[in-house]
Amino acid sequence: MSVPKLTSAQVAWRAAQDIEDGAYVNLGIGLPELVARFQPEGRQAVFHTENGVLGFGEAPATGEEDWDLINAGKKAITLKPGASFFHHADSFAMVRGGHLDVAILGAYQVAQNGDLANWRVGSKGVPAVGGAMDLVHGAKRVAVVTDHVTKDGKPKLVEECTFPLTGKECIGRVYTSLAVIDVVDGRFVLREKLPEITLEDLQSLTGAGLATPDHVGDLVAPDLS
Amino acid sequence: MDKTVSSPEQAVAGIENGAVLMIGGFGGSGAPVELIHALVGRYVATGSPTDLTVVNNNAGNGRVGIAAMIDAGMVAKMVCSFPRSSDPRAFTEKYLADEIGLELVPQGTLAERIRAAGAGIPAFYTPTSYGTELAEGKPVAEFDGKKYVQERWLQADVAIIKAELADTHGNLTYRHAARNFSPLMCMAAGVSIVQARKVVAPGEIDPEHVVTPGIFVDAVLEVPKPLQEEELIRSGEAY
């Protein structure tokens, strides 16, 4: 089945629309990082990185990097006015103490009860967890940005995660390439979907039941290519 | 009261076989490269110290720093949150060959375990890792209707740290994001050994600006133009 879908940038754009002015935000490595590019006009979020910086901005120009000034993905960053440095225990007090407003993460699987699997897919290789298990329990709002299905077409939204868990019942909202879906009382509730896709097709690409309230919005993102 | 030492070799001379060693840094930022390489040099020359447990966020990158320690064969076990990097050969090869141990710890839990040791708190509860494989075997308790995992403090024999400024009493400042785990490690280790870009007289660091108070520091070495690990890796350097 060939279905229309949002690009990664468009998924990130949609997630950015829900970040309020003045929010303190942590973005996971990879697709979530794109969210920072699409802050709506007139709003300013303050970005947090686990390794001890609040208020960082874009990457510096090539050749201008200062490798003592990096983010959790080990990429060079710049500072915005009002930035601050702090040690790792303070950084994770911001996370685990419930001070962060929003954390946006990637996912291998999200279950209908809000369980997240995003750190390893099996028992082979070198396991690495970083700060994901901390972030899912700290931020006031924890959301996922992801393709709706895996590269080989399998659902990433499932009844129960089969990959090792990052956290239990921690995800509130999922922004996918096809839909915006909330986790409410142990089930997926559809909030928005691409107008081009039918409910039946969306359900067939989703590994758990989708509750559809009376009003389901159109998921429309600007052309960002 | 003067805590200065005169060479990297002198600074790391007391580290013993089997020690638990905390090494500051997150990736290349804050990695005390000169102290690490002095330790590798001592091992290559004398066979000691070996059988080390190393605590760091990562498990080395490229062929320098902690990766050089692993390559040399002096590390028995890593305690870290993210043993991957742009060039993780050193750890990955030994891990897959079952020649090095790994205790994988969520990053915030790692920081808090180190902080707890420094503060004399033997255990604490956190929601992090509850219901995951990293919580297996750990006590769980419920507080106000929510489940928490018990985590133990993480103590060390020695910490080796990179600072920006130090005074001779061991008061420290750090540079940018190179601070990361270092202030916590200075608190958690029995002996904290610091390399600083500049060592100044007491009073030359404004007390308002001290990040790590000297009570947590035992030895200070001036390394005026410290190597930056990320730059070494990007230029393909090997120890």
Does the pLDDT at position A225 exceed 90? no
pLDDT tops 70 at residue A1: no
Phi-psi region of B122 (alpha: psi -120 to 50; beta: other; left: phi over 0): alpha
ipTM score of the complex? 0.96
3-class secondary-structure state, position A193:
strand
Among partner residues A50, A86, A167, which is closest to B132 by beta-carbon distance?
Answer: A167
The domain over range A8-121+128-177 is classified in CATH as 3.40.1080.10:
yes
DSSP A11-80: HHHHHHTTPPTT-EEEE-SSGGGGGGGGPPTT---EEEETTTEEEE-SPPPTT---TTSB-TTS-B--EE
Residue B236 lies in a domain: no
pLDDT of residue A122: 80
Share of chain A above pLDDT 70, in %: 99
Distance from CA of B45 to the nearest CA of A (A): 31
Give per-residue pLDDT as tens, A9-36.
999 999 999 999 999 999 999 999 999 9
Residue B162 lies in a domain: no
Task: Give the burial class of B124: count Cβ atoms within 10 A of its Cβ; 0-12 exposed, 13-18 middle, 19 or more buried.
Answer: middle
Query: Tens digits of per-residue pLDDT, B111-148?
Result: 999 999 999 999 999 999 999 999 999 999 999 999 99
Write the CATH number for B190.
3.40.1080.10
* pLDDT computed for residue A101 by the predictor: 97
Q: State whether residue B84 sits within 8 Å of chain A by CB.
A: yes
For residues B186 and A3, which has the higher predicted lDDT (pLDDT)? B186
Pairing of β B140-143 and β B146-152: antiparallel
**B94 within domain boundaries:** yes
| Phi-psi label, residue A22: left if phi above 0, alpha if psi -120 to 50, beta otherwise | left
Tell me the domain boundaries of chain A.
8-121+128-177
**Total domains, chain B:** 1
Under 8 Å between Cβ of B64 and B233: yes
Give backbone dihedrals phi and psi of B34, rounded to 5 degrees, phi first: -65, -40
Q: CB-based contacts of A94: which residues, under 8 Å, 6+ apart?
A: A24, A48, A54, A100, A138
- Out of A20, A33, A50, A58, the active site residue is A50
Q: Which domain holds residue B180?
A: 4-121+167-231
Query: Is position B100 within any domain?
Result: yes
Residue B142 domain-assigned (yes or no): no
Residue type, A208: A
CB proximity A78 to B under 8 Å: no
